[in-house]
Structure formats: structure tokens, C-alpha cells
Chain A
């Protein structure tokens, strides 16, 4: 039982990171139907820039804020320089552009920072907290609370605010959105900035636990994508639940089967979702109209 609870704690921690990546996917997908595979790089940048700035002598909180702000700018630049010029191209082409952008950002990170593995101190110390025989790191609680806070904020944004509805309208029919006066270019910029900021926040929160190096993004993007698929692409609730479930599955697989199979879980989830319920747990069943 202790072991089980321990697995659950570690599963929730990684799951919360996957959920944050999946939430990032959700925003850009909602605005443009594009799956942004550079999402994982935003997480990497969040961690790397925080480490870099902290190493340069800034307090941790300032370093984290700078990391989130700079990563947002990278997100906006990605939209302006790579996605917007390709407007009108098929969604699949734009998805491939995001894969290219992901490779580019990784390469740039190697040059600007380095190829080492880094970490910085946890926000509230490293003393594990004991809960019913298992232990949880204070930093894990930060990660889980961070994911929940972002989820609640996004949920309110998409359901309560007119701007959130404008994002959804833009995804649904860009031209129609323009006709009613929605600045769709601005909506895209906002989506990329927001999505990058959330990715960076994930990186900031999780680096003290999982460490960061220039190449952590790809795996995170894949896992986040699996989480988003499992929950139903485009649905913030789905992203949260999908990410957490994936994290739990991974931790339980590692614990009870073998840690070697841990990374296979995400792929099995993707295949399972595609075979059994392509719309995911919370997605709408919608037939493409022709």
C-alpha cells in the first residue's frame, strides 16, 4: 500500500507536467487546429533560462519570471516567423513546420546555453513530506498545484470571457470570425504567447525534480500530446485529466512491471485512443462535414 501511494505521488507529479504541456497544446489547437510539436521546447526553455538567469546571480523568482516572459516571446516569434507566413497551408504542413521549429529551438539552446544537465534548488527545500507512509517532495506539490491553477484559469478564460470565445470562434471559422470583427491575427499571437508561457511554467516548476538539458523537450511534447489525445484534443478538462492519467499509468508501470516499459506507455495510450475512441475521454464526437 505504501508503495502504491508512493507510485501515485510520483505519477501525479509527472502527470501534472504532462497536463501542463497538454494544456499548452489545447490553446494553440483551439485557436488554429494546429498541434504545436514545439510545445516541449517551451518547457525546456522555461527550465534552461531559469537556470541560466539564476546561475548569473538573480533570485530564483526573478529568474523564473524572466524565463516565462522570454519563452512567451519565443512563442510569439514562432507564430510570426514560421506559422503566420504559412497561413492557408494545410494543417499538416503547419504541424511539420512546428516539428522543424522544435529542432531549431533545440539547436539554438545548445549554442546559447550548453549541453550539460542542470538543476536549481527546489522552491521550498528538499525535505520530503510524509503522507500515510509514503513521501512527497514539496516541489511535487508546487508542480501539481501549478497544473491545477493553470487549468482553472484556462477553464474560466475559455468559458467565461469573450476573448476566450473569440479564440474558439477563430478555430471554428477564421473568416467568419474576422467578419464579426475578431482580430484573428491578434488571437493567434495571444494563443502562442499563452501556450509558451504555460510550457515555460511547467519547466520552471519541474526542473528541480527532473533536471533540464537542451533535449528534454521532445519526450515531453510526445507525452503531453498523448495526454491531450487521451483527454480529447482541445478540451482543457481533457488535457488535465489525460495528462494526470498518463503520468499515473507511467508510474504504476514503472513500479509494478519494469521501468524499462515506462516510456512505452505513452505510445500504447496513443494507439489505444486512436483505435478505440479517437475523440478521447472528453472530446466531442464530430464527423467531418464534406
Chain B
């Protein structure tokens, strides 16, 4: 049984099948990438899996439990965390507080204990702070901890979002274009970080445009085109698939392919 099982997932926006009958699985410790041209439905697929959109059809199973259409706050305690292509950051909080917020579930206690400032509350707060600091250092934001998040660059915010997602202690992490807007060095670092996380047994589901990165780190690649899954398999196999090449290059590409063949 895989950690995440997506089966027949679909959603329609005003008559347009944005995602149609998509199925795949993500086992623990593996990196599965979803690729496809712009508008293929990758982010929509992510939004359905993570409970931001209510799927029109199909099911999502997390660790064998059906979680189709559960809101993100119900999925977080079950070990699903994600980042966004267009970032969802607490802009008015400090970088550290953003990461601390990720510890919300593990820091939670009774309101009365909080008001009384009991030792257990302080212990949990310290645990969250130390943990957040460690995660920030892991994504190389340690020296910016006290900065207001709104002042960070796009690439830094991407890493902050990953740190916050990790603070939830996920079993599966959905990363929506983590390397977008990052320079070559930062991309390399994110690449290494993702591989490291998978090594720790976290299942990773990745949407990424940087094909070099995808082909290098993925165990398994799912290809979407116009909302449908057109191929899946190991990266080297998928990259040779004529239908995949056609989807990326368009009809002309297909002709070109035939001409060459």
C-alpha cells in the first residue's frame, strides 16, 4: 500500500475538464513528479489532493484512509503538508514565527494552561522555537529569523514555505514548483534538500518545470496533458515517450518527430 493513492480524480470548471480521471500512487520515501505543459492541470491536481478544491470525481487515500475533499487543516494532522507555487506566507509575521506556526498542532494545549503560563506550555513553546530555528537553518534562512517575512525575496520565501511545511512533520510533502524563481545554486540546494527528505522516508510529490531537476531526482514521473494522464513511469522511460514529447512540443513537434523517425 502506498502512502498516497490517487484514483480517478477529476474536476470540471465551467464545462472544462481541468483534470480528468487521473490515478497514481506515491510510496513512502519516493519522489514522484508531475510534469506537463502549462495549463495541463498540475496545480489543480495538487489543490484537489491537498483539500483546497473539492474534487468532482475520484478518491484520495492517505495511508489507506479515504480523505477525499478533506480541508487542509484536517489533512495536516494526518501528515500531509504542501507548498504553493504562488506562496502562502504569513507576510506580517517574522520569518521565525512563520516556521513556529508550522508547529501549531504539536504545540497545542489548553487555553487555560496557556493563560497560566504553566511549565508545560513554556516547554512546548521552546520546543517549537528550537525546532523552527533548526528548520530555518536547514533551508539556510537562520540569519533572517527575526526579519519580517514580507521583506524576503521570492526564492527565500519558497524555502521558508518548505521549512513551515516540514514543521508540520509530514509523511507526505507536496511541493509546487519549489525551484521556480531560484538561481542555479539555490536550485541545486533545493534539489539536495528534496533528496535528503526522501531519504528520511518522507514521500514527495513534486510539480516542477525544471526538467533537469525532475529527471535527476524523481523515482517516478506522471505526465499530464490537458487534464489527462498521458504517461507515467521512470524518468528515463517517460522522457523517451513520443506522446510526451508531442505534448511538450505541440503538433509540430509530432510532425518533426515523424519526419525524423
By a beta-carbon cutoff of 8 Å, the part of chain A in contact with chain B is: 156-157, 160-163, 165-166, 169, 172-173, 175-185, 284, 286, 289
Contacts and interface: CB of A to CB of B under 8 A. Distances in A.
Given A156-B115, A161-B114, A162-B109, A180 B104 contact: yes
A160 B114 contact: yes
B115 A180 contact: no
Q: Residue among B104, B115, B150, B168 with the most chain A CB within 10 A?
A: B104
B102 interface: yes
Contact of A176 (B88, B103, B108, B109): B88
A177 B88 CA distance: 9
Nearest to B164: A180
Q: Residue among A160, A175, A178, A182 with the most chain B CB within 10 A?
A: A178
Contacts of B102: 180
B203 interface: no
A235 to B, nearest CB: 13
A179 B81 contact: yes
Interface in B91-106: 91-93, 101-105
Nearest to B101: A180
B231 to A, nearest CB: 30
Interface string B119-142: 000000000000000000000000
B163 to A, nearest CB: 12
Nearest 4 pairs of A and B residues by beta carbon:
A181-B76, A161-B114, A178-B72, A176-B88
Contacts of B77: 181
B144 interface: no
Interface string B54-82: 00000000000000000111001100011
Nearest to B102: A180
A176 B73 CA distance: 9
A173 to B, nearest CB: 5
Contacts of A185: 71
Given A162-B108, A179-B82, A181-B73, A169 B90 contact: yes
A286 B73 contact: no
A130 B109 CA distance: 47
Given A173-B88, A181-B168, A289 B104 contact: no
A175 B52 contact: yes
